[in-house]
Structure 1
Amino acid sequence: MASCMASSLFLKHLLLVVALPLLISSTPAPGCHDSIISFGDSLADTGNLLHLSSSDGRPTEAGFLPYGETYFHRPTGRFSDGRLVIDFVAEWLGLPYVAPYYGDDGGRSVADFGKGVNLAVAGATALDAGFFEGRGMGNSFPNESLGVQLGLFKELLPSLCNTSSGNFPIGCLPVYLTEFQSSDKEEYDPLTGCLNWLNEFSQYHNEQLQRRLDHLRELHPRANIIYVDYYNAALRFYQSPDKFGFDGGILSACCGGGGTYNYNLSALCNSNARVCDDPSSYASWDGIHFTEAAYRWIFKSMADGSCTVPKLDISCPSVAFE
């Protein structure tokens, strides 16, 4: 049985993964899109936690190399070696990378939000901090929950022009494979090596989410709400890693502190960590987040419509990505 400490770590990281990005386009002229509004956690954060950490004196690992080494050649606050899915979406739409809401001093950024704004903060949860504190779970979660982000968005609405979250196969992530290693072979998928029970939980989460989206479609028939199937978009890596160029070790992190999956909670990805020579040959960057190469493949699955319900149509004048 997993220890209480391991269970606590699992809950924290699980919440981090579950609070996935929400991308909403404004209502532009037919055939084009004016802006992107992003909500979520480290899977979509383009610098918010970095600026918040700089203002309170608590540095974040995403502010140092090797984070950002592949594309930007410097740390930008993104929790990957390069671009995230939201960056590929922006490129695809011909828009600039979505500016973080927070600036260098932790206050509102001076960036022009006319082309969109990113409210995602690494470590953010779907539920407010009070929920966890009231259950004796401490206050280790940043007070940047989805509710807080939506509140900031409402404040921004007057200054913006016209204005829901599939989960990855988390049983394949090095962080969980390390924390819940088992000698029971039946707990693992014989094809991928992923933990069955965690992937089953992801699938259950996604089923419930799609039911809620169906309900939202009934309530808002004029809105075009699209579900992105992150689970199957990413599962392909683990089923056929060679097809996607992931020959460095599909279940191991590129940057980490050693061990079976190159993930060690006491030696996370930093300038002293063991970093792979070619991040593009790995799907996992630091055991929790994906590499730029993996995010690119996930984006392609979204853009070609193979992992969206209904099929994504870029020509639609109003689109929401969940």
Structure 2
Amino acid sequence: MASCMASSLFQKHLLLLIALPIVISSSPALRCHDSIISFGDSLADTGNLLHISRSEGRPTHAGFLPYGETYFRRPTGRFSDGRLVIDFVAEWLGLPYVAPYYGDDGGRSAADFGKGVNFAVAGATALDAGFFEGRGMGNSVPNESLGVQLGLFKELLPSLCDTSSEFQSSDKEEYDPSTGCLNWLNEFSQYHNEQLQRKLNHLRELHPQANIIYIDYYNAALRFYESPDKFGFDGGILRACCGGGGTYNYNSSALCNSNARVCDDPSAYASWDGIHFTEAAYRWIFKSMADGSCTVPKLDISCPSLAFE
């Protein structure tokens, strides 16, 4: 899919998954990171289980001394006598200790996650609780799996990352003059698609009896942006038909709804709401799929009576 459409990427935030190697390429002087986002279990939990257990009336032993006695001089919910690896990472980056998602620590509000947030919960598993319940082990596993933590992260993401700007740049050299799209973002999409095709080739080798077809939305749609007039998109190729106003009629906080600004003729636009295509655009993409020009390998679904409108 063409990357000049609205996207949401998370920049300048360090994500830590305590279970995988941690590679950091910054120093306090460089300040390469603005915040830390952490996932995991008791190795990284800075207080989540403590707050969960208190709210449920079943205090955890990490909420009592001698836990925390070495550094904090009080129990903080950390399963240690003091700081964890994530605390030393925060100190090294010159950032505050990462606030637990379910409560405050040292007076910080649970809603104040501008410098980071920790979703790690002691006892959390990679697989969801349902997996263990089906095997008779559900009572011993908290429902705070990695999937749950990632779900909470996705809910919180809009407040952590302002996407209202479509990554606009004041440097005209960063844009492709033929499409008006940011070069680096489209290059990222191209790289993703290359890696996807490599994986599909591997799957074809593993399953030679399967017919795996790669449909290249990116290049099928890129034609619109290079030559919009050829496809009847004269409403402004980068503008959304339905949206919240602005240069591209797109605003992540004012999406397409009954109160949005809607164009008179959607068929003159490739973008419907700044993220998705219009029917007219999807029709052209389908034609590219049907004639095999954007599929790998070529897809032949033609028959004598098939005609395109």
Task: Pick the TM interval, shorter chain.
Answer: 0.3 to 0.5
Q: Give the TM-score normalised by the residue count of structure 1.
A: 0.45
Cα distance change, pair 63–242 in 1 and its aligned pair in 2 (3 A): farther
Q: CA RMSD in A?
A: 22.3
| Deviation >2 Å, runs of 4+ | 1-165, 313-322
SS at match of 2:24: strand
Q: Give the TM-score normalised by the residue count of structure 2.
A: 0.47
User: Which gives a bigger RCO, structure 1 or 2 (Cα 8 Å, sep 6+)?
Assistant: 1
Measure how far apart 1:265 and its partner are. 2.0
Residue pair 1:24, 1:36 contacting (<8 A) in 2 also = no
SS at match of 1:68: coil
Cα distance change, pair 64–31 in 1 and its aligned pair in 2 (3 A): closer
| Alignment gaps of 5+ in structure 1 | 166-178
User: Does 81-90 or 211-220 show the bigger shift?
Assistant: 81-90
Cα distance change, pair 44–184 in 1 and its aligned pair in 2 (3 A): farther
Measure how far apart 1:313 and its partner are. 2.5
Cα distance change, pair 309–255 in 1 and its aligned pair in 2 (3 A): same
Match of 1:261 in 2: 248
Answer with 1 or 2: which has the greater Rg. Answer: 2
Residue pair 2:214, 2:295 contacting (<8 A) in 1 also = yes
* CA deviation map 1:217-274 (0-9, x unaligned): 1111121111111110000000000000000000000001111001112221111111
- CA distance in 2: counterparts of 1:307 and 1:137, whole angstroms: 48
Cα distance change, pair 186–94 in 1 and its aligned pair in 2 (3 A): closer
Residue pair 2:240, 2:269 contacting (<8 A) in 1 also = yes
User: Does 32-41 or 215-224 show the bigger shift?
Assistant: 32-41
Cα distance change, pair 244–48 in 1 and its aligned pair in 2 (3 A): farther
Cα distance change, pair 311–2 in 1 and its aligned pair in 2 (3 A): closer
Residue pair 2:17, 2:39 contacting (<8 A) in 1 also = no
Cα distance change, pair 313–288 in 1 and its aligned pair in 2 (3 A): same
Residue pair 1:51, 1:103 contacting (<8 A) in 2 also = yes
| Alignment gaps of 5+ in structure 2 | none
Q: Which has the higher helix share?
A: 1
SS at match of 1:218: helix
* CA deviation map 1:5-29 (0-9, x unaligned): 9997658999999999999999999
- CA distance in 2: counterparts of 1:312 and 1:196, whole angstroms: 30
* CA deviation map 1:27-85 (0-9, x unaligned): 99999999999999999999999999999999999999999999999999999999999
SS at match of 1:24: coil
Cα distance change, pair 203–24 in 1 and its aligned pair in 2 (3 A): same
Cα distance change, pair 272–233 in 1 and its aligned pair in 2 (3 A): same
User: Does 245-254 or 97-106 show the bigger shift?
Assistant: 97-106
Match of 2:118 in 1: 118
Residue pair 2:290, 2:302 contacting (<8 A) in 1 also = no
- CA distance in 1: counterparts of 2:180 and 2:292, whole angstroms: 28
> Which residues of 2 match residues 81-96 of structure 1 at below 5 A?
none
